[in-house]
Amino acid sequence: MITASRLTLARKRRGLTVTRLSQLAGLTTRRLTDFESGKATPSPASLTALAAALEFPESFFFADEIAELTADVASFRALSKMTASQREIALSNGRLARTLQDWVAQRFRLPAPDVPSLTSFSRCRSTDEQIPLPGEDTGAEPPAEHAAELVRARWGLGNAPIPNMLHLLEAHGVRAFSLSRDCAEVDAFSFWDRGTPFVLLNTAKTGERGRFDAAHELGHLVLHGEEQMPHGPAAEAEAHRFAAALLMPSADVVARAPQNPATSWILQAKRHWRVAAMALAHRLHELGLSTEWQYRTHCVELSRLGYRKAEPGGVQRETSQVLGKVFSALRSEGIRPSDIARDLHLRPADLNDLIFGLVVTAQTGGRQSTATSARPQLTVVS
Ligand SMILES: [Zn+2]
């Protein structure tokens, strides 16, 4: 007996429709549908054909059920513009990341989640600290701006720039993983899973974009509920404002920016906050430090200099510190990435896709090691 839902998961991970997979595996669509619903069990030959077409080890289909992850709990931006297949690939990445996270959590003590949520802020707000709820118009500063200040205060960041956004998230218990290269349309997304916040990031963007995406997803986790992620332009604008406020605190920007900052000032100052030039230009305007006309001028000049699509001379792409430590600790115990991939019933290449490409996979041909019993025992490290 296979775990039928794993067949669907593997198909979605590869971005395949039922029709396409049945063609690849030489089955009728009816037959495949029956396998996926659990109405029928594939013969050994059918299973081999399916596993080959899906590029998953056959053992993947016999492992335990993996909890569902649906689009309504994930923070997808522009849900309507994203193709269904891209969304499914991203969500499947999220489900596989959860199994990897469970695997790691059984062997390592990881930072406890410490991501404040505005819901809990608002529940315990006192009369002297009124925190507006999202969408509540009080005429005061936008809630996202205020939420970013609260996070900075709670995490003891003051107004200093954030040297590494991804490490900061991980230090506060956010589990960060990377999106596979076959879902390039998805910048990032986040979700809560049994009280643990997850962020999945696209690794093809510039370092500055990656930092902003990570801060944006933190905004969703902080501002938007655990039960359901609101989608749409209002939620996106809030997460965006949160990211800008977190990376470029208004007090620091106001203190540093001259009157009518020139484009050359932006190009210098962006290094201080490690943000994209365009993001800083927008922040100046958002804070009333440049006029609409100046902002447009900045955009035109920055575009001309190549800062719309790229970030010349930009910062390095951030990567996971937790996963780096985990994999090097495992390596020192003699546990190879291929052993971990085998435990998770994944190809080493698919494991590598989830962990920012941190391990170089020597063999990706799917050759399975037979030395299962010789595997060393893992120890718990902090
Ligand atoms: Zn978003």
pLDDT tens digits, 214-263:
999 999 999 986 666 777 888 899 999 999 999 999 999 999 999 889 99
- Tell me the pTM: 0.88
Please calculate the CA angle 204-205-210 and round it to the nearest 5 degrees. Answer: 120
Please tell me the distance between residue 75's alpha carbon and the centre of ligand 1 in angstroms. 6
Q: What is the pLDDT of residue 372?
A: 35
Is residue 136 predicted with pLDDT exceeding 60?
A: no
Domain ranges of the chain: 1-65, 69-382
Which residues are registered as beta bridge partners of 189? 200
Calculate mean pLDDT across residues 352-363.
Answer: 74
Please tell me the distance between residue 105's alpha carbon and the centre of ligand 1 in angstroms. 27
pLDDT tens digits, 28-82:
999 999 999 999 999 999 999 999 999 999 999 999 999 999 888 888 876 667 8
Please tell me the distance between residue 368's alpha carbon and the centre of ligand 1 in angstroms. 39
Please tell me the distance between residue 243's alpha carbon and the centre of ligand 1 in angstroms. 10
Please tell me the distance between residue 82's alpha carbon and the centre of ligand 1 in angstroms. 13
Is residue 127 predicted with pLDDT exceeding 80?
A: no
Q: What is the pLDDT of residue 377?
A: 36
Biggest alpha carbon–alpha carbon distance for the chain = 73
Please tell me the distance between residue 240's alpha carbon and the centre of ligand 1 in angstroms. 7
Is residue 361 predicted with pLDDT exceeding 80?
A: no
| Choice between 257 and 369, residue whose per-residue pLDDT is larger | 257
Please tell me the distance between residue 164's alpha carbon and the centre of ligand 1 in angstroms. 20
Please tell me the distance between residue 93's alpha carbon and the centre of ligand 1 in angstroms. 17
- The secondary element (H helix, E strand) that includes residue 171 is helix 165-171
Q: What is the pLDDT of residue 140?
A: 62
188 three-class SS = strand
Question: Do 229 and 210 meet the contact criterion of CB atoms below 8 Å apart?
Answer: no
Is residue 273 predicted with pLDDT exceeding 80?
A: yes
137, burial (CB in 10 Å: exposed 0-12, middle 13-18, buried 19+) = exposed
| Structure token pair of residue 222 | 């902080």
Question: Do 268 and 304 meet the contact criterion of CB atoms below 8 Å apart?
Answer: no
Calculate mean pLDDT across residues 336-349.
Answer: 94
Q: Across all residues in the chain, what is the average pLDDT?
A: 87
| Cα-Cα-Cα-Cα dihedral sign, residues 142, 145, 151, 156 | negative
φ, ψ for residue 201, nearest 5 deg = -120, 140
Q: What is the pLDDT of residue 314?
A: 93
Please tell me the distance between residue 226's alpha carbon and the centre of ligand 1 in angstroms. 15
Least confident range from 37-41, 130-134, 243-247, 276-280: namely 130-134
Which residues are registered as beta bridge partners of 175? 198
pLDDT category at 360 given cuts 50, 70, 90 is low
Calculate mean pLDDT across residues 262-267.
Answer: 97
Cα separation, 74 vs 189, in Å, equals: 6
Calculate mean pLDDT across residues 260-282.
Answer: 97
**1-65 CATH:** 1.10.260.40
pLDDT tens digits, 288-313:
999 999 999 999 999 999 999 899 99
Please tell me the distance between residue 99's alpha carbon and the centre of ligand 1 in angstroms. 24
Is residue 161 predicted with pLDDT exceeding 60?
A: yes
Calculate mean pLDDT across residues 325-343.
Answer: 94
Please tell me the distance between residue 362's alpha carbon and the centre of ligand 1 in angstroms. 36
Please tell me the distance between residue 187's alpha carbon and the centre of ligand 1 in angstroms. 9
Which residues are registered as beta bridge partners of 192? 197
Question: Do 341 and 327 meet the contact criterion of CB atoms below 8 Å apart?
Answer: no
282 CB contacts (<8 Å, ≥6 apart)?
A: 244, 295
Please tell me the distance between residue 36's alpha carbon and the centre of ligand 1 in angstroms. 32
